[in-house]
Chain A
Amino acid sequence: MAYETIVEDNIDILVCGAGLGGTGAAFEARYWGQDKKIVIAEKANIDRSGAVAQGLYAINCYMGTRWGENKPEDHVRYARIDLMGMVREDLLFDMARHVDSAVHQFEEWGLPLMRDPKTGAYQREGRWQIMIHGESYKPIVAEAAKKSADKVFNRICVTHLLMDESKENRVAGAVGFNVRTGNYHVFKSKAVIVAAGGASMIFKPRSVGEGAGRVWYAPWSSGSAYGLLIDAGAKMTQMENRIVLARFKDGYGPVGAYFLHLKTRTQNCNGEEYESKWWPQLQEMVGKEYLDPEVSHATHRPIPTCLRNHAFINEVNAGRGPIHMITMEAFQDPHLEEVGWENFLGMTVGQAVLWAATDVDPKNENPELTTSEPYVMGSHATGCGAWCSGPEDISPPEYFWGYNRMTSVEGLFGAGDAVGGTPHAFSSGSFTEGRLAAKAACKYIDDGKAKGIRVSDKQIEDLKAKIYKPMEHYKIYRNEVVAGSVNPNFINPRQGLDRLQKLMDEYCGGVTVSYMTNEKLLNIGLKKMKALEEDMEKLAAEDFHELLRAWELRHRVLTSESVFQHTLFRKETRWPGYYYRGDVMKLDDENWHVLTVSRRDPKTGEYTMEKAPCYHLVGADE
């Protein structure tokens, strides 16, 4: 093959994907490894990559211990109830106790954090959220990463991890290709931190045609956080826990600032409050322990996000849609009106454009909301990701194997979307997880755990052949047909993505089936996934750009298969409003108050599933 092989050798810490998690990892790694070689491999350009590329208007995870606002354990309890109990409380406590130090540094670096003029404290949007002018959030943290890293490789799509051949289950680096030059890049590294993105676009989106890219999570979040790790045989957790978002219709503009700061509320088409009428029935499904509106009303305990979705979905299905956000009251205040618009311009410009295009002024009318297609990720109100070790001073034995944020593969660490069981990390928490992983990765190397790594030329050459296969395939078969995209010998990445989205939607609880699935549907879906996996061997790419889409699709397919397996394994409906197992419509704490853990054997592709104990924070004498 004509593609040049470029080897970067003797790396200590390789960071794959430099969004908020990866920039945090690269920045911090330099402190603990001042003489270490730190390298970033990023699919796009780190100045505008990852989920925060277009900016943010809020930092959603800030304790404010400095002002006595919250303690780390308060945040753990919040995430616990929001996720119906299914979280890793060791990892959450650890993230929460460090996150403020990241935010205070952001302010020092120049990120404009709004202040409450009365108290001088950061302007709160809600209990956990602070408001920022974050258009340049990503360029600012990228600057920090660039100052720490020895080298930044932009436009490298990392496709696979390299595995050590002298010791089983130990990482040895990563490989990928440059999406511009097409060159093959080999990164030999003692430790790898996977900080790639979660998965958008694996379920059929509500939008069609051009608007298919107007998804809630970035279209470039291709599930590589999971694809890379699953392919390396790392254990995954809570992959069934996909998230559905209630957002402004079509543009998916955020609602957090509207609910929390602008104090807006929702109503059905008749102008009625609708949530409370669904609570009694829902309480029978999940139990009073998880849904107690009276307690929620009297305390800070939230009604879980999924349960509020449930009320929304059922109200619409009962024929009383659309659900409106009542903005007309708040928007009469010019300051709040400005906040409402700048909130979109700061992080979801498309919603502002849509309202401009449709003449929606929320001062004069109450905009429509909708529930999105599902997403698989690990840093918003859900916690999909790798099964990682926690910190030594907190984690129980089942959650600890030597190095903080290390996956079940030695030397392979995670941050951000890659780490499972840590919802509500958001941008600041993901950055913090990157920092934690970086310190632990340096220690792993200093402890001599990365000695004697061996990578054969054969492994490197085999992976090279694999990576370019879609281009070879295209060259071989394209002239068999006159022209066009219909070919009996291959499918292109878009055709593969369309098939994946359709089958995830119909068999795994997407939007067209009102988030419903069951064992029979899941088994049919898995059968279709197997055929798709086989067809993935016949994927064709016309150029390097399509090759990028081909490997993004590969990571999305690996992610989706894991979602199927986990959804099949958990025989209950734990998160009504995220998805329903129609054959087991109740929450079942007796059998399923556990975390689900999977491993895909990289050699055979076979899945093994297990239950892992769920630990919770309790008083020291309980």
Chain B
Amino acid sequence: MPTFVYMTRCDGCGYCVDICPSDIMHIDKTYRRAYNIEPNMCWECFSCVKACPHDAIDVRGYADFAPLGHSVRVKRDEEKGTIAWKIKFRDGREKNFLSPITTKPWGKYIPKLAEVPAPSKEMRDSELLFNEPKYIRLDDGDLYTLKAAGLKLKEGVYY
């Protein structure tokens, strides 16, 4: 369902323009507000809807297969770490859902790899990646190899 923008709610801030993965939310030059310039390249990903600070963006199901009279609204809250959905059916029924979007404060637990101890030469010459082998199994086990698994690669027809 392609997005559309309510005239009275949009103030032209451009958050949707900045985030749209398909580059289809643009600012209309006359009205100085955002709109969907290419609905048939919209994936209904809701990135712009979630990013809009004024709840000005909504979606209306694709005209070629979705009848009118429905709505799916969303509120994404980074502070609370939740996303809330409200689905309204054509016949008036409603469904509500709430899910977590993160378990930690934003970005705080992502390491800055420029500042961690540099890998040793032995590590560089191995097949290991950052934090490995520890993070593969979270025990003292090593990286899996064909040799340890008693396997080899052989040319031919095998199933």
> Which residues of A does B touch, CB under 8 Å?
27-28, 30-32, 34, 43-45, 47-50, 53-54, 65-66, 71-73, 80-81, 85, 89-90, 93-94, 97-98, 100-101, 104-105, 107-112, 133, 135-136, 140, 143-144, 147-148, 155, 179, 207-215, 218-220, 250, 289-290, 338, 341-342, 345-346, 349-350, 352-359, 361, 391-396, 435-436, 439, 443, 545, 548, 589, 593, 613-620, 622
Contact = CB atoms under 8 A, between A and B. Distances in A.
Nearest to B116: A31
Contact of A357 (B61, B83, B127): B61
A358 B66 contact: yes
Given A100-B136, A135-B76, A220-B22, A357 B66 contact: yes
Contact of A90 (B18, B114, B153): B153
Contacts of A208: 64
25 contacts: A30-B113, A32-B119, A48-B47, A53-B45, A73-B151, A101-B131, A104-B135, A104-B136, A105-B135, A210-B39, A213-B44, A214-B44, A218-B45, A219-B22, A250-B65, A345-B99, A350-B44, A355-B89, A357-B1, A357-B61, A357-B66, A358-B66, A394-B145, A617-B152, A617-B154
A110 B157 contact: no
Contacts, number: 300
A89 B151 CA distance: 12
Given A133-B100, A353-B72, A207 B64 contact: yes
B23 A356 contact: no
Contact of A81 (B93, B132, B159): B159
B87 interface: yes
B61 A213 contact: no
B20 A140 contact: no
A355 B71 CA distance: 10
Nearest to A349: B46
A548 B23 contact: yes
B133 to A, nearest CB: 8
Given A349-B72, A357-B69, A357-B90, A111 B110 contact: no
B56 to A, nearest CB: 18
Contact of A391 (B127, B154, B157): B127
Contact of B43 (A210, A215, A250, A391): A215
Given A112-B101, A220-B22, A361-B93, A356 B155 contact: no
A511 B113 CA distance: 47
Contacts of B95: 341
Contacts of B141: 65
B135 to A, nearest CB: 4
Nearest to A155: B23
B147 to A, nearest CB: 8
A159 to B, nearest CB: 15
A208 B119 CA distance: 53
A353 B44 contact: yes
A45 B14 CA distance: 13
Contacts of A89: 153
Contact of A143 (B99, B110, B147): B110
Scoring A66, A85, A211, A616 by chain B CB atoms within 10 A of each residue's CB, the highest score goes to: A211
Contact of A147 (B23, B103, B113, B145): B113
A80 B110 CA distance: 35
A615 B136 contact: no
Contact of B136 (A98, A147, A356): A98
Contacts of A50: 21
Scoring B20, B113, B156 by chain A CB atoms within 10 A of each residue's CB, the highest score goes to: B113
A375 to B, nearest CB: 14
A59 to B, nearest CB: 15
A349 B114 CA distance: 38
B19 A98 contact: no
Scoring A89, A289, A616 by chain B CB atoms within 10 A of each residue's CB, the highest score goes to: A616
Given A44-B23, A109-B109, A211-B64, A436 B100 contact: no
A356 B87 CA distance: 7
A90 B151 CA distance: 12
Contact of B135 (A101, A213, A620): A101
Given A101-B136, A110-B102, A111-B102, A213 B39 contact: yes
B115 to A, nearest CB: 9
Contacts of A97: 136, 143-145
A108 B108 CA distance: 10
A358 to B, nearest CB: 6
Given A34-B114, A211-B64, A110 B23 contact: no
Given A349-B72, A613-B155, A618-B154, A27 B113 contact: yes
Contacts of B21: 44-45, 48-50, 53, 218, 220
Given A71-B149, A135-B101, A207-B64, A349 B132 contact: no
Contacts of A435: 129-130
A72 B88 CA distance: 44
A464 to B, nearest CB: 21
> Which 10 A-B pairs give the minimum distances between C-beta atoms?
A110-B104, A211-B62, A54-B45, A101-B135, A616-B158, A30-B113, A350-B44, A357-B66, A356-B70, A357-B70
Given A111-B102, A358-B67, A48 B45 contact: yes
Given A100-B136, A101-B129, A338-B97, 12 more contacts: A28-B129, A47-B19, A53-B43, A101-B135, A104-B136, A110-B104, A289-B159, A356-B70, A356-B90, A357-B67, A545-B23, A589-B157
A354 B85 CA distance: 15
Given A393-B127, A589-B157, A618-B158, A359 B89 contact: yes
A111 B19 CA distance: 21
Contacts of B26: 545
Scoring B19, B65, B137 by chain A CB atoms within 10 A of each residue's CB, the highest score goes to: B65
A43 B23 CA distance: 9
B110 A66 contact: no
B8 interface: no
B155 A396 contact: yes
A209 B40 contact: yes
Contacts of B69: 357
A392 B124 CA distance: 13
Contacts of B116: 31
A414 B151 CA distance: 26
B10 interface: no
B99 A346 contact: yes
A218 B136 CA distance: 31
A47 B100 CA distance: 18
Nearest to B138: A66
B2 interface: yes
Nearest to B132: A101
B47 to A, nearest CB: 4
Nearest to A432: B129
B139 interface: yes
A148 B114 contact: yes
A93 B97 CA distance: 39
Contacts of B105: 110
Contacts of B154: 615-618, 622
